[in-house]
């Protein structure tokens, strides 16, 4: 009986360490993006770049495709370095929010986002309900808001942007819970080598990071005070 208990305790500890690694990577990525965004704006670099800023806005999308198709053969070290390079580049693209919204509202919305994100992730980790079925609906919703956002570039409709932001908040909150449970389930059912699990932790951190950033931007669109 004692052996079984010890084994269970050890397994729970490994799960805790695995999830803690994911959250640490997520937090470091968010922090790096925040610092990079502020430095890019406050130093005047953003203004100096002019239209070149669009290269930095679009580059992360290319990096996501690169990661999707190539990361399987990457080493852990390369995957980790890629993640930090990606979040730093995202920070450059996010610097534009300081030119649009007041610093006070950015800070306020950041804390609202953090509380929403933490609550959703905690739900995904602790719930006994299998929410894997959410995946297809969330993916459809994500594709829908991407298409609507592209269309709204040409329409410039405030009503459509409001709708996109509301639906976006729901989708990225749901994705946060979904990705958290998926990571926990994958760990519990995995016999993968340690390096593969470490790479998976970074991949999950990237998903959670993107959920956080998109949730932040949607809430900022709804609640942010413009300059």
DSSP secondary-structure letter at 226? B
Residue-wise pLDDT tens digits, 146-159: 999 989 888 888 89
Q: Cα–Cα distance between 114 and 4 in angstroms, integer?
A: 38
Prediction pTM value: 0.92
Q: Which of 204, 47, 59, 55 is nearest to 121 (CA)?
A: 204
Which whole-number Å values give the CA distances from 88 to 40, 57, 119, 121, 179, in the listed order? 11, 12, 26, 23, 22
pLDDT confidence of residue 218: 96
Residue-wise pLDDT tens digits, 52-77: 888 888 898 899 999 999 888 899 99
Tell me if 124 sits within 8 A of 180, measured CB to CB.
Answer: yes
**Does the pLDDT value for residue 25 go beyond 80?**
yes
Please report which confidence band the pLDDT of residue 219 belongs to, taking 50, 70 and 90 as the band edges. Answer: very high
Query: What is the full DSSP assignment across 164-195?
Result: HHHHHHHHHHHHHHHHHHHHHHHHHT----HH
């Amino acid at each position: 009986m004692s052996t079984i208990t010890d084994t269970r305790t050890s397994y729970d500890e490994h799960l805790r360490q695995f999830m803690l690694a994911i959250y640490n990577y997520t937090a470091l990525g968010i922090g790096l993006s925040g610092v990079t965004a502020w430095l890019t704006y406050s130093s005047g670099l953003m203004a100096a770049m002019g239209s070149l800023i669009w290269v930095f806005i679009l580059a992360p999308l290319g990096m996501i495709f690169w990661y999707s198709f190539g990361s399987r053969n990457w080493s852990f070290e390369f995957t980790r370095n890629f993640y930090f390079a990606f979040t730093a580049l995202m920070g450059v693209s996010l610097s534009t929010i300081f030119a649009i919204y007041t610093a006070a509202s950015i800070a306020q919305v950041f804390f609202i986002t953090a509380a929403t994100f933490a609550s959703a992730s905690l739900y995904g980790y602790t719930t006994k309900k299998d929410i894997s079925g959410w995946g297809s609906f969330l993916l459809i919703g994500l594709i829908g808001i991407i298409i609507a956002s592209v269309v709204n570039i040409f329409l410039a409709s405030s009503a459509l942007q409001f709708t996109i932001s509301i639906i976006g908040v729901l989708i990225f909150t749901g994705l946060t819970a979904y990705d958290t449970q998926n990571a926990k389930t994958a760990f519990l059912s995995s016999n993968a080598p340690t390096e593969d699990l470490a790479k998976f932790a970074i991949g999950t951190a990237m998903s959670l990071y993107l959920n956080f950033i998109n949730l932040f931007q949607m809430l900022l669109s709804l609640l942010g005070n413009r300059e």
